[in-house]
Chains A and B, each alone.
Chain A
Amino acid sequence: MRPEVTDLEIRLLLEAIYERFHYDFRQYAIASIRRRLIQALTAMHCESISALQARILHDERAFPRLLAYLTIQVTDLFRDPEFFLALRQHVVPILATYPSLKLWIAGCSTGEEAYSFAILLAEEGLLDRTLIYATDINDDSLRKAQTGVYALDRLRQFILNYRAAGGTGSLSDYYHADQDNAVMAPELRRRITFADHSLATDSIFSEVQLVSCRNVLIYFDRELQDRALGLFADALCPRGFLCLGTKESIRFSAQAPRFNPMSVGPKIFRRVD
């Protein structure tokens, strides 16, 4: 059976992490955090949350290990292909009317989502006038994203997704493969700026026409979701686009009045004027 871990112990640990390392998990959905902390206890051979807390405060190699548990890095190229298909059909034609474009991928993990946008925009002839800001709080992931190197055994799924997302060419146009890896094309990489940015503590940095923040908000509590959605509304130009994960909604958010849902199925919203 799992060790008993109370809400209070978790809150104290998250408070300590914030004070010492300035990572702010205090407003994350606690049920998921509890699962990950229990996994971390086992992996790091700690008996209790207080033992874990003592460890990260005294052993400087311990916190990066814990951080890997606290931020989940599950992602894919063209994850949820029907979303990218809807984007291509209903959003890209409107984006094409802007002389220059800035996109913000918030919570980009190891970069797959940012490369998916870059590929799609390249195929629609818009990449040359686009800048993509892709941000995350996990530095390891950002480094991987920057190199754009993915294990070859993931290619099969990548290709299936690319086709289902309405890809017009061949995915091999966008990477070159060596022995073990697929390396994303430099033309894509050049248009993407990967940067450290927290939706919990940082503020906006640029006006953008589109924000994509997918499968990140589910890990936040309602107040932190409100904060993030507020940042997106502030960063977006009037009528700018907000893309959320397939099962994410603004329904329970105080920021809901600032967005209108588009009627195209997947979770795409537009900022009201």
Chain B
Amino acid sequence: MAARSTTASTSDARFDAVVVGGSAGALEVLRQILRTMPATTAVPVVVVLHLPPRPPEGLPELLARDCLLAVQQAEDKEPLQPGVVYLAPPGYHLLIESHRAFALSVDDPVHFSRPSIDVLFQSARDTYGGRLLAMLLSGASADGAAGLHEVAAVGGITIVQSPAASEAAAMPSAALALFKPTYVWTPAEMTKELPSLFAVRSSMLGSPA
């Protein structure tokens, strides 16, 4: 095997961004996932959670508490930074533009949700193509399934929380009814397996470009 190239750059790793979606029962799983991400994580992580219309303040702070990465609400036109976890602001769709900056919208809800997971996943797929790691967690609607399918269709890595191990199975089941994802994992498996996926990603970027 060839020695690790000193020119190893983003193009060597398998994904340039992580996107995560979930609704009922997803918050705790999300916390566990964020905990597995090393401080050297070299990609942005973008999250859509369905929340009540007026969610409690301080969700970014709550998630940041046991996560090594900065956690913040995404702002309109903000460029995505590696090693930052972005949350969709309540009441707005969150999209990623082709120049890798966020755009918000107040277009109609999708699957009764704004923010919608499909909207995030589809725009991420349009921007990153297959160079994505996309995760769909526990949830009570079909939002996210179509978007995840599209990510899979262009070769992205897709992870679905196993319905049996989900507080609400509708969301992961909707995805499994459409296609076969790369992995179907329980939360425990995620905690166990994700670090190696992220290790690859962060060591790649560790070398000088």
A: residues with CB less than 8 A from B are 1-2, 7, 29-32, 34-36, 72, 74, 215, 217-219, 221-222, 225, 245-249, 251-252
Contact = CB atoms under 8 A, between A and B. Distances in A.
A1 B91 CA distance: 25
B97 A247 contact: no
Contact of A32 (B75, B91, B107, B127): B107
A186 B104 CA distance: 35
B105 A30 contact: no
Contacts of A36: 107
Interface string B64-106: 0000000000011110000000000101110111100001111
A215 to B, nearest CB: 5
Shortest 5 CB-CB contacts between residues of A and residues of B: A31-B95, A29-B103, A31-B123, A218-B104, A252-B77
A215 B123 CA distance: 20
Interface stretch (B13-21, B44-52, B145-153, B166-174): B145-153
A218 B97 CA distance: 12
Contact of B96 (A31, A35, A252): A31
B126 to A, nearest CB: 7
Interface residues of B, number: 27
Contact of B105 (A1, A2, A218, A222): A218
B126 A34 contact: yes
Contacts of A252: 75, 77-78
B88 to A, nearest CB: 10
B108 interface: yes
A31 B75 CA distance: 15
7 contacts: A7-B98, A31-B96, A32-B95, A32-B105, A74-B108, A217-B76, A247-B91
Interface string B102-134: 011111100000000001001100110000000
Nearest to B178: A1
Contacts of A72: 105-108
Given A29-B103, A32-B93, 5 more contacts: A29-B97, A31-B95, A31-B103, A31-B126, A32-B103
Nearest to A5: B126
A30 B108 CA distance: 17
Contacts of B96: 31
A218 B106 contact: yes
Nearest to A34: B126
A248 B104 CA distance: 9
Contact of A249 (B76, B108, B122): B76
A74 B146 contact: no
B92 A247 contact: yes
A80 to B, nearest CB: 9
Contacts of A215: 106
Interface string B137-173: 0000000001001100100000000000000000000
Contacts of B91: 246-247
A177 B91 CA distance: 30
Given A32-B103, A74-B107, A218-B106, A249 B75 contact: yes
